[in-house]
Structure 1
Amino acid sequence: MPTATDQFFAALAHRGEEPLLRRNSGIIRFEIGSKGKVQRWFVGVDHGRLTVSKRHQKADCAVLADTDVFENIITGTDNAFAAMLRGALEADGDLELLQLFQRVFHGPVQSTHPAVTDHA
């Protein structure tokens, strides 16, 4: 059964283009796993066009995270930079690229509490 991480990278590969990253280019290597089992994905950003590969290539930014930490990030429960500051995620290289890439992660979980819209 595919993990949330597998599903994230598969969906990213099918996305093809991310308008929020049109001004950015680079390759991010994600090393995700735990207990000696690490999977690697290489995500290319070419002026908004996204590619995903498992084929080794030179990366501008490298990210290393435990599976649980990464899945919290991709589901919007956690933030990559907050996780990095806590030491739960390691990143090296072009951190600006990672910061910009956060735009493709889900946003924080929205409250189910109804908003009050009547200002009268």
Structure 2
Amino acid sequence: MTATNGFFERLTDAGQDPRFSNVCGSVRFDIRDGGHLEQWLLDIDHGRMRVTRSGGPATTVIQVSAQVADAMARGEVNGLAAITRGEILVDGDLSLALRIGRLFPREPEPPRRDDPDSGT
């Protein structure tokens, strides 16, 4: 499982985020890995989060490479900085895209003890 998949699964499991209680809108993530396109649709209704794998219409569309999406999901890349560098393209409501940045970890998560790549 990629870090991006884990990120969206955590959003699905959480279901609600009080930081978004005044937010209604949708964000589609178009994530490219070479010639492969993976799409995730995040619907926000007063803090209720619903995530689906869909290419449907959205208030905001975020285009990003799989590498940058995974790095953001691990807390290694700041979304605003990535937008500034042109690594993320936003079409639609930029303020909603910037708010979505709050959902991503702010710093890398420590390796889990059961992670074979952690060396423990």
TM range (shorter): 0.7 to 0.9
- The two structures have a TM-score, normalised by structure 2, of 0.85
- CA distance in structure 2 between the aligned counterparts of 1:45 and 1:102, rounded to whole angstroms: 14
Check the 8 A contact 1:61/1:91 in 2, yes or no. yes
Question: 4+ residue runs of structure 1 moved beyond 4 angstroms?
Answer: none
- Counterpart in the other structure of 1:18: 17
- Counterpart in the other structure of 1:76: 75
Work out the number of aligned pairs and report it: 109
Check the 8 A contact 1:30/1:64 in 2, yes or no. yes
Q: CA deviation at 1:86?
A: 0.5
- CA distance in structure 1 between the aligned counterparts of 2:67 and 2:106, rounded to whole angstroms: 17
Percent of pairs with identical residues: 31
Gaps of 5+ in 2: 110-120
Q: CA deviation at 1:7?
A: 1.1
Q: CA deviation at 1:82?
A: 0.8
Check the 8 A contact 1:24/1:45 in 2, yes or no. yes
- Counterpart in the other structure of 2:114: none
The code of the aligned residue for 1:86 comes to R
Q: CA deviation at 1:91?
A: 0.9
Q: CA deviation at 1:76?
A: 1.5
- The two structures have a TM-score, normalised by structure 1, of 0.85
Alignment of 1:15-94 (within 5 A): 15-94=14-93
Gaps of 5+ in 1: 111-120
- Counterpart in the other structure of 1:113: none
1:108 and 2:112 equivalent?
A: no
- CA distance in structure 2 between the aligned counterparts of 1:39 and 1:105, rounded to whole angstroms: 18
Check the 8 A contact 1:21/1:101 in 2, yes or no. no
Return the index of the structure with the highest Cα Rg: 1
69-78 or 24-33: bigger deviation: 69-78
Q: CA deviation at 1:57?
A: 2.4
SS of equivalent residue, structure 2 residue 77: coil
SS of equivalent residue, structure 1 residue 6: helix
